A and B are shown apart, each in its own frame.
Chain A
């Protein structure tokens, strides 16, 4: 099984959930920017949630399917067609051999394919590390005429394809609702847990961080977003040494414009840490484009953990429900 890249889009990479465990070697975690969209797209096609999928920034991606496949798209403001016919996002769709899927527009769209993108596992992950040029598809973004290998779909994915074929439907009637579908917006509110150097902000800067709105600048990519807004300053010079950072860490470099670290971040950083965006709100950030806006609100660690545990429990429930519906012996109808 394979698919051909007719148009690679602005930047399309192979991603899974990244390589957390090798951070002590300075190796960036990488992986899907929007972990929720990635996992839900995999869930909808019957894949393990950490299967490798494609992540396309903006749009302009066209893929020709050499063999029949089941595909799900997830992300914000997706506009896609299958040979000209609109294709719904957040649904599993059957694609026959020879057909062309075009992603016209989106923010950071996950394209999950039953069986997953079958690139080699490198250091525990199939994710592309663009900076160090390894992992994923030859360590780089997709190019025109690339022929990507697709893995053999698992039992659940195979039963979904069988059902879609038997009832002669192109799209499954299963999807996810809130809370598995994050409330994306071009003006996101990201909740943060205060960081160690937050207390060093001047009173005016702290009020601005939580009261004003910041704009995503063009200096934004998978490593992180530089955000523009009121210039923030510290009351005292912080004597910093390099220390671990994570997805969502908000750093304040000397210029006064914060940087929010994201999937391809460095493992360590030496700038003052104002706070960390909580896990359940990272998908909202991942789907912001240059020009979009973000504002910040403080939240307690207990609240953040409660929100995360509920989201994970909901996702587990959704996965179980789908597995039951397509269990061997079940007829797949609702």
Chain B
């Protein structure tokens, strides 16, 4: 997997094409739109790491996404020119390496039944059985592209095309915490109870977000996730939390 090198900072001579877009008067978005896939994700992580590691004056937050890095700043402490200059210099030090595959973070999931009310629908959509859907979902290795939407919510890359399923026409008002779902070409886990339109295929007891834990999120961008099917608890038996 491509990853940003930790060495440096030194100028690499590589030019990562980017544009800087104002996002209101206290934030800006560094757009790496010309990059794609693994390269974009690795450069995003590299730039976010450089900015967080050596923050310029007035920098308040760095928010990496799929192919953008959004920077929140205090305009009384810095100027957009100074930030743009700093960002360009930081990007110049980003170098990519091929990282050996990481050990996956295991997410135990009770598939189907009350925990995965849409598993049957997903199976019907793909003209197959719930068991085959579970087998395909657990066979995948998923990479955390970014965190967003909810605290600790991972945007996971790597869902097999045979599992892509449209979102529900009407979103649920309350998707329970720990629900594992499929929405279009993505799969993910709801860290807390929330409205949501994804097809729910199972549920995990692992806490994806715990404000008392450090770090508070189970997953970080770049982590690899593997889902493992575990038996559904007997009636009355709780799906207890870790």
* A residues in contact (CB < 8 Å) with B: 20-28, 122-123, 129, 131-135, 193, 195-196, 241-249, 266-268, 273, 276-279, 301, 304-305, 308-309, 312
Contacts and interface: CB of A to CB of B under 8 A. Distances in A.
B29 A132 contact: no
A245 B68 CA distance: 11
Contacts of B212: 122
Given A25-B215, A132-B211, 10 more contacts: A25-B151, A26-B150, A123-B216, A132-B151, A242-B66, A242-B148, A246-B70, A266-B148, A268-B63, A305-B79
Nearest to A27: B151
B110 interface: no
Contact of A24 (B48, B66, B153): B48
Contact of A309 (B21, B61, B76, B194): B76
A109 to B, nearest CB: 24
B175 to A, nearest CB: 12
Contacts of A193: 22, 24-25
Contact of B217 (A25, A122, A248, A304): A25
Contact of B26 (A241, A245, A266, A279): A279
Nearest to B52: A24
Interface of B: 21-27, 29, 31, 48, 52, 60-70, 72, 75-76, 79-80, 146-153, 155, 191-192, 194, 209, 211-212, 215-217
A135 B153 CA distance: 18
Contacts of A196: 21, 29, 31
A200 B60 CA distance: 30
Contacts of B191: 26, 132
A22 B150 CA distance: 12
Contacts of A277: 24
A134 B217 contact: no
26 contacts: A24-B48, A24-B63, A24-B64, A26-B147, A26-B149, A26-B150, A26-B151, A26-B152, A122-B212, A132-B150, A132-B191, A133-B192, A135-B211, A196-B21, A196-B31, A242-B148, A243-B31, A243-B65, A245-B23, A246-B70, A266-B150, A267-B148, A276-B22, A301-B22, A308-B25, A309-B76
B187 to A, nearest CB: 15
A93 to B, nearest CB: 31
Nearest to A123: B211
Contacts of B216: 22, 25, 27, 123
Contacts of B192: 131-133
B149 A276 contact: no
Of B21, B48, B61, B76, the most chain A CB neighbours within 10 A belong to B61
Contacts of A20: 60-61, 72
A243 B25 contact: no
Nearest to B59: A21
A244 B22 contact: no
Contacts of A129: 151
Nearest to A275: B24
A171 B146 CA distance: 51
Contact of B155 (A122, A135, A242, A304): A242
B48 to A, nearest CB: 7
A135 B69 CA distance: 27
Contacts of B69: 244
Given A132-B150, A135-B211, A301 B25 contact: yes
A132 B190 CA distance: 11
Contacts of B80: 301, 305
The 5 closest A-B pairs by CB, nearest first: A244-B70, A276-B24, A268-B148, A304-B25, A26-B147
A268 B65 contact: yes
A147 B8 CA distance: 53
Nearest to A24: B63
A316 to B, nearest CB: 9
Given A196-B21, A268-B146, A24 B61 contact: yes
B24 A243 contact: no
A190 to B, nearest CB: 11
Contacts of B62: 24
A248 B24 contact: yes
B25 A305 contact: yes
Contacts of A26: 147-153, 191, 209, 217
Contacts of B66: 241-243
Contacts of A276: 22-25, 27
Contacts of A132: 150-151, 191-192, 209, 211
Contacts of B152: 25-27
A250 to B, nearest CB: 10
A243 B29 contact: yes
Given A308-B75, A312-B76, A249 B24 contact: yes
A301 B21 CA distance: 11
A271 to B, nearest CB: 12
B184 to A, nearest CB: 11
